[in-house]
C-alpha cells in the first residue's frame, strides 16, 4: 500500500479502542470507517495503531492472550446486527457506558454477553454462505486458531487462572487430556473461533476500505509475548521455562529515561537457538499473519533482536539483569527469504548501540525519532529536527509518552527554554511548533497522536510505562475533531509536501535533450 513514487507521508496514531461509539469502547465498525474518512479529508496517508490482539494483563495490547488472534472487544456489534446475528432490541438494551474513557470491566462483561448471543444465533440461523465463509476461515487459520480457542476455553473453565495452574496433564499438553478437553468444551471452543471469525471478517473489510482510499495502516508487533498466552502454552519448547512451566528468566529493560529501576516486563524469553533450528517458523508465521492485516509493521523493542535484557525470575526490579545476544541478522535474512521485502519500522528507542544501528541499516529499516527526547541537551542530540535522516519515522511522542501539551508543561526549565529558543516561540505555541517540526522534518514518515492534534493534556495520555493499571483507556468523542483541526492537518500536510505526490512533466526539446536517448561513445 506504500507508493514507491511517493517520498513523504503523514498520518495519525490512534488505536481503535480510542474511537467513539456506543458500546463503551472504540470498534472496527462505523466509528473506524468514519475515522478513515477523516484521514482522507485531512490529507493523511497513514493510520498507525497498536497491537490488535486480545488484551490480557492490565488491558494492555502488548500483553495479549495470542500473537495471532484479534481482540474480541474491537468487534462491531452494529455489523453483527447487519449480518442478522443481533436484534435491534439487543443493541438498544446495551447499558450506557462512559464516552471519554474505556471501562474495561464493564465493556468485557456487557459486550461479552452480546458476542455470546451472536455466536449462538450464528449456530442456529446463519445462512449457508456465512457458514461456508466461517468454515473456510477455520481451515485457513487452524495452525493457531485451534490452540488459541482451546486455550481460551480452558482459561474460562479455570476461572482465569494462568495455564501453569491448571491440572498437570493440561499444563504438559498430554494428548489424552487435550482430546478430552476438546470434547468437553466443544461449544466454548466454537464460540471463541466464531468471535475470531467476526473480528477478521470485519477488520479485513476495514483494511480494504482504508487501502482503497489511499490509507496505509501501520501495525505493531511486540517483540515478546505474554506468559499467560496460547503462544507459550502451545509452544513451551520455544521459551525458557522450568519443569513446571514457569519462566526461569524474564524480559525487561535496564534503567532509562522512563524508569530509574528499569522496566520489568516479565515476558518469557525465547530460546532463539531452538527457533533457529526450526528456521524461525513460529516467527515467520507470526509475521505473515500481521502482514495480512496491516501494510507496515512497527517492530517494538527492535534492539532486542540484537541483544536483550534478561532478568532472573523472582527479581522485583529490572536492575539485576544482563545483556544477552539476540538472533541478529540471521533472523531478518530468513524473514526476507521467506516473505520478500520487509515493510518494517524499527522501534530503536532506548539503549541503542552501533551494533543495533548496523542491524537496522543493513536491512534498510526506518528508525524512529521522538521530539520529546530532543530538548534540554546540546545541538548534536539525534532527535533534534536538524539531525534527522530521511529513512525514519518522526513523532512528537508515541503512546508511551505524555501528550505534547502535557510533556511541555511538565518538562524541566532547560527543556522548555530549549524549545522556546529552537523555535523562537512562546509557551502557548510550543506544542504547535513541535508538530510543525514533525511535518517539516526530512523524515519520510511523520505521525502525530490524535491527542496532540486536539491539543489535549496529560489526563489524555495513553500509557505510562512501568505501571500496570489505568492505561489504554483514553477515547475521543464525536464532535471533538472540529473543522479547524482538519484544516490544520490538511494545510500542514500539503505545505510540507506530505500530500499526494506531485507529478512533474518535462517537455524535452533540442535545447533540453532527453537523457533517456543518450548515445554510446564510439571510442
Cα 63 to Cα 60, 228, 266, 404, 452: the distances in Å are 5, 9, 10, 26, 26
Torsion sign across C-alpha atoms 82, 479, 109, 60: positive
Which one of the listed residues 27, 295, 347, 348 is annotated catalytic? 347
Q: In angstroms, rounded to a whole number, what is the distance separating the alpha carbons of residues 366 and 133?
A: 38
Q: What cell numbers appear for 235 in the block?
A: 509452544
Whether 108 contacts 37, CB under 8 Å: no
Cα 99 to Cα 24, 26, 482: the distances in Å are 6, 10, 17
CA angle 351, 228, 102 (to 5 degrees): 80
Cα 319 to Cα 37, 223, 323: the distances in Å are 46, 20, 12
Q: In angstroms, rounded to a whole number, what is the distance separating the alpha carbons of residues 182 and 191?
A: 13
Q: Does residue 300 carry a catalytic annotation?
A: yes
Which one of the listed residues 147, 188, 300, 348 is annotated catalytic? 300
Cα 308 to Cα 151, 232, 249, 385, 448: the distances in Å are 28, 19, 12, 29, 28
Q: What is the H or E stretch that residue 346 is in?
A: strand 344-346
Q: What is the DSSP string of 283-306?
A: HHHHHHHHHHH-SEEEETTGGGGT
Q: In angstroms, rounded to a whole number, what is the distance separating the alpha carbons of residues 415 and 437?
A: 16
Cα torsion at 312, 317, 322, 324 (round to 10°)?
A: 70
Torsion sign across C-alpha atoms 123, 125, 128, 133: negative
State CA 504 to chain mean position distance.
36
Whether 115 contacts 195, CB under 8 Å: yes
Q: What is the DSSP letter of 308?
A: E
Strand, helix or coil for residue 107: helix
Q: Does residue 400 carry a catalytic annotation?
A: yes
CA angle 86, 37, 10 (to 5 degrees): 130
Residue spans of alpha helices (H) in 161-295: 168-171, 175-184, 186-212, 230-234, 272-277, 281-293
Q: Which residues have a catalytic role annotated? A: 300, 347, 400
Amino acid at each position: 500500500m506504500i507508493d514507491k513514487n511517493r517520498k513523504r507521508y503523514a498520518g495519525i496514531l490512534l488505536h481503535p479502542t480510542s474511537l467513539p461509539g456506543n458500546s463503551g469502547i472504540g470498534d472496527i465498525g462505523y466509528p473506524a470507517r468514519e475515522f478513515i474518512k477523516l484521514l482522507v479529508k485531512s490529507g493523511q496517508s497513514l493510520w498507525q495503531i497498536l497491537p490488535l490482539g486480545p488484551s490480557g494483563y492490565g488491558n494492555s495490547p502488548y500483553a495479549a492472550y495470542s500473537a495471532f488472534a484479534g481482540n474480541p472487544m474491537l468487534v462491531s456489534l452494529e455489523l453483527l446486527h447487519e449480518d442478522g446475528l443481533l436484534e435491534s432490541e439487543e443493541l438498544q438494551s446495551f447499558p450506557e457506558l462512559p464516552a471519554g474513557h474505556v471501562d474495561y470491566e464493564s465493556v468485557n462483561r456487557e459486550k461479552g454477553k452480546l458476542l455470546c448471543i451472536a455466536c449462538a444465533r450464528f449456530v442456529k440461523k446463519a445462512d449457508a454462505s456465512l457458514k461456508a465463509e466461517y468454515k473456510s476461515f477455520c481451515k485457513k487459520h487452524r495452525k493457531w486458531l485451534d490452540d488459541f480457542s482451546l486455550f481460551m476455553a480452558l482459561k474460562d473453565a479455570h476461572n482465569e487462572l494462568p495455564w501453569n495452574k491448571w491440572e498437570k496433564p493440561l499444563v504438559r499438553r498430554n494428548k489424552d487430556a487435550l482430546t478430552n478437553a476438546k470434547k468437553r468444551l466443544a461449544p466454548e471452543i466454537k464460540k471463541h473461533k466464531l468471535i475470531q471469525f467476526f473480528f477478521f471478517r470485519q477488520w479485513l473489510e476495514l483494511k480494504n476500505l482504508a487501502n482503497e482510499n489511499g490509507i496505509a495502516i501501520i501495525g505493531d508487533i511486540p517483540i515478546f509475548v505474554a506468559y499467560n498466552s496460547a503462544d507459550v502454552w502451545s509452544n513451551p519448547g520455544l521459551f525458557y521455562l522450568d519443569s513446571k512451566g514457569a519462566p526461569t528468566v524474564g524480559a525487561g529493560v535496564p534503567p532509562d529515561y522512563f524508569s530509574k529501576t528499569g522496566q520489568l516486563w516479565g515476558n518469557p524469553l525465547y530460546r532463539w537457538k531452538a527457533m533457529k533450528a526450526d528456521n524461525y517458523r513460529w516467527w515467520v508465521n507470526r509475521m505473515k499473519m500481521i502482514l495480512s492485516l496491516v501494510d507496515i509493521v512497527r517492530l517494538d523493542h527492535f534492539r532486542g533482536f540484537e541483544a536483550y535484557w534478561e532478568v532472573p525470575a523472582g527479581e522485583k526490579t529490572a536492575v539485576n539483569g544482563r545483556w544477552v545476544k539476540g538472533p541478529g541478522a540471521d533472523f531478518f535474512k530468513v524473514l526476507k527469504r521467506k516473505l520478500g521485502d520487509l515493510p518494517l519500522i524499527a522501534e530503536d528507542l532506548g539503549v541503542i548501540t552501533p551494533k543495533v544501528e548496523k542491524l537496522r541499516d543493513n536491512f534498510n529499516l526506518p528508525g524512529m525519532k521522538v521530539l520529546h527526547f530532543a530538548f534540554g541537551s546540546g545541538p548534536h542530540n539525534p532527535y533534534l529536527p536538524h539531525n534527522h535522516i530521511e529513512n525514519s519515522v518522526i513523532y512528537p511522542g508515541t503512546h508511551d509518552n505524555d501528550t505534547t501539551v502535557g510533556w511541555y508543561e511538565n518538562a524541566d526549565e532547560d527543556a522548555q527554554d530549549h524549545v522556546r529558543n529552537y523555535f523562537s516561540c512562546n509557551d502557548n505555541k510550543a506544542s504547535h511548533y513541535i508538530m510543525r517540526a514533525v511535518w517539516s522534518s526530512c523524515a519520510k514518515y511523520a505521525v502525530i497522536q490524535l491527542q496532540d492534534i486536539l491539543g489535549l493534556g496529560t489526563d489524555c495520555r495513553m500509557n505510562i510505562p512501568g505501571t500496570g493499571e489505568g492505561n489504554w483507556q483514553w477515547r475521543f468523542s464525536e464532535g471533538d475533531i472540529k473543522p479547524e483541526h482538519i484544516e490544520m492537518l490538511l494545510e500542514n500536510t500539503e505545505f510540507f509536501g506530505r500530500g499526494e505526490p506531485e507529478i512533474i512533466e518535462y517537455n524535452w526539446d533540442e535545447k533540453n535533450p532527453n537523457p533517456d536517448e543518450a548515445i554510446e561513445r564510439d571510442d
